[in-house]
Amino acid sequence: MALDFRTDLLGGDKEFHVPLAFVNQEARGIALCWLDEQGITIKQSQPRRCLFKRPFDRASDTLYVPDNKWDDFCEEPSDRIGEPDLVNQSVDVNGEISRIAVSETLYMKDDVIRWLPGLNSWWDVIVIFVVVGAQPDPQQGSCRWELEGTDGRAIVWYRKTQDFEVQQGTSNIVEEDLHRKIEQLARANLEEQQSFQSLPTLEIRPVTINRVQQ
């Protein structure tokens, strides 16, 4: 028996406008091919009217965990396994989420950062983005949020050397003092944990976000 993380229930992006869809017959094949490459699904809601949605892509998208959902995100798999219908059952958890993002405020809490190794009991997290400054607001209607600075400086854990290494990036949009604090917290709270030492790798990357209007 397996528990799957249902990314289809995340909702994906809401309805948005795709000018390329409204083209002549000759260009329609090219437009549809482009939509497919972008992972955009098409659903006909009415005759001659379609809805365009982009579902969550496990390979390229990042799951943002709001501060008030952090405990649920961490505890839901164990809570579900403990429910009566799964007692004495052999259950595999397929938590195929490799990239998550959390707020700077959440990351700075000692109890949160000490819990990070526990994530890999259920999830396949290898990159944690620390969002600095403004945070995504789900109340802002149909929009997408893009991470900026993902190619910037990061602190990376390597099991082979049992140490964090600072990886210089091609852009630095976060202040030096904050980089230093993120590194200090990781070293102080993670390096000595046995469960963390067994992780092959983990990247911690400070970033900002940009709201993309649909």
pLDDT of residue 186: 92
- pLDDT(50) > 70: no
Average pLDDT of the residues in 35-45: 69
pLDDT of residue 10: 75
29 token code pair:
């094949």
Reported for 156-159, long-range contacts at CB under 8 A and 24+ positions apart, including other chains, are 156/201, 156/202, 156/203, 156/204, 157/186, 157/190, 157/196, 157/199, 157/201, 157/202, 157/203, 158/201, 159/197, 159/198, 159/199, 159/200, 159/201
pLDDT of residue 143: 63
pLDDT of residue 133: 92
- Separation between Cα atoms, residue 60 and residue 40, nearest integer Å: 14
pLDDT of residue 184: 93
Query: Residues 6 or more apart from 184 whose CB is under 8 A from it?
Result: none
- Per-residue pLDDT band at 179 (split at 50, 70, 90): very high
In this structure, the strands spanning 143-148 and 201-213 are antiparallel
167 token code pair:
């990886």
Pick left, alpha or beta for residue 185 (phi over 0 → left; psi -120 to 50 → alpha; otherwise beta): alpha
pLDDT of residue 13: 56
Distance in angstroms between the alpha carbons of the first and the last residue of the chain: 39
Higher pLDDT, 187 or 30: 187
Query: Residues 6 or more apart from 6 whose CB is under 8 A from it?
Result: none
- pLDDT(20) > 60: no
pLDDT of residue 103: 96
Task: Judge contact between 127 and 205, C-beta under 8 A.
Answer: yes
Task: Judge contact between 204 and 154, C-beta under 8 A.
Answer: yes
Query: Residues 6 or more apart from 123 whose CB is under 8 A from it?
Result: 5, 95, 97, 100
- Separation between Cα atoms, residue 122 and residue 119, nearest integer Å: 6
- What confidence tens digit (pLDDT) does each residue in 96-129 have? 889 999 999 999 997 888 888 778 778 888 999 9
Q: Which residues pair with 102 in a beta bridge?
A: 130
Pick left, alpha or beta for residue 39 (phi over 0 → left; psi -120 to 50 → alpha; otherwise beta): left
> In this prediction, what percent of the chain has a pLDDT beyond 90?
31
- What confidence tens digit (pLDDT) does each residue in 126-159 have? 999 999 999 987 776 556 789 999 999 999 999 9
> In this prediction, what percent of the chain has a pLDDT beyond 70?
82
Query: Residues 6 or more apart from 68 whose CB is under 8 A from it?
Result: none
Lowest-confidence region among 142-146, 165-169, 191-195, 202-206? 142-146
- pLDDT(14) > 80: no
pLDDT of residue 174: 84
